[in-house]
Amino acid sequence: MKHSWRRLCPGAGLWLLLAASAPAQDLDPRAYVHVPKDSTFLVWGFSASDGAIVSDPTLPITDIQATVLTPSLGVGHSFSLLGRTAQAFAAMPFSWADVSGKALGEARTVERTGFSDMRLRLSWLVRGAPAVTAAELARSPRRTIIGTSLNVVAPAGQYYPDKLINLGTHRWSFRPELALSQPLGKRFLLDAYVGVSFFTANNAFFPGAAVKTQAPIGSWQFHLSYNLKPLLWAAVDVTYYTGGRSTVDGVEGGDLQANMRTGLTLGLPIGKRHSIKLAVSKGLVVQRGSDFTTYSFAWQSAWVPRSPPHK
């Protein structure tokens, strides 16, 4: 039997954060790799997350467990920006969520199905990655790359102002990021990213007219990957993020985050145009709302323009 969390917990607020909608929790090795200009990428993805996927532990709700299944479709394109490699990417996830917990001592379950928030990303490799063709890139040596990006979460997901459990966040978030990609010898690659997530206000928070704001979240990512063969690689991933205390109608919550997640990623080529990526991540040090495990799969197809023949 399905129940309303609002009826069980009047005046309280619970925020469901799906793995696909939590930018500070991303683990993305080789996000600043040098690719040929004018290339187009299509990515089909699927992730499954299980655990305590929430961010407000101050509520009278305990023993929260959620299972979230999220297929997604994304498209990206690389281009030249001031002679350097840039890339734009957009992805739209769809989620099935099954959430259970105890409200005032009573066990309850709720389900949600619909779109999650859209993900947008614009990256620019400002050093070490000139905009070149595929043939020119094949002849280029491995270089230190310095890159920057703007990651945006747009409020396109399913949202009910009078419900506590939602797939969308009903707000925008923006994360500027600075990255270093450093080759180590012939096979190792070290990636390090630092970013800060900023959030607009949700002016329709539960029970429908409350205003929820959230402080910025600082995040750090480190990835060490190893090339087993050309285009076949494995990586060890770790991220730490802190901040994000929320305020509802001027009342500050006790939900300051200081969490660490770790994971493993494997990239495998499938022919000349396709590749797949397998990944798993879980909470390593959990203070608030990150005690869950995520398994993900992505299939990428790339269309790289051929270089014109030399005359």
| Residues 208, 211: Cα–Cα separation, whole Å | 9
- What is the SS3 assignment for 277? strand
Q: Which residues contact 111 (CB under 8 A, 6 or more apart)?
A: 2, 96, 97, 98, 99
Selection from 51-55, 63-67, 276-280 with the highest mean pLDDT: 276-280
What is the pTM for the complete model shown?
0.87
Q: Is the pLDDT of residue 6 over 50?
A: no
Tokens of 243: 């901040």
Per-domain residue ranges for the chain?
A: 14-303
More confident residue, 307 or 13: 307
| Residues 240, 247: Cα–Cα separation, whole Å | 22
Predicted confidence at residue 307, as pLDDT, reads: 65
- pLDDT category at 77 given cuts 50, 70, 90 is very high
Predicted confidence at residue 288, as pLDDT, reads: 58
Predicted confidence at residue 23, as pLDDT, reads: 55
Predicted confidence at residue 5, as pLDDT, reads: 31
More confident residue, 230 or 90: 90
Predicted confidence at residue 306, as pLDDT, reads: 77
- How long, in residues, is the chain? 311
Mean pLDDT of 284-310: 80
Predicted confidence at residue 181, as pLDDT, reads: 98
For the domain 14-303, what is the CATH code?
A: 2.40.128.130
**Amino acid in position 234:** A
Query: pLDDT tens digits for 115-151?
Result: 999 999 999 999 999 999 999 999 999 999 999 999 9
Query: pLDDT tens digits for 207-254?
Result: 888 999 999 999 999 999 999 998 899 999 999 999 988 899 998 887
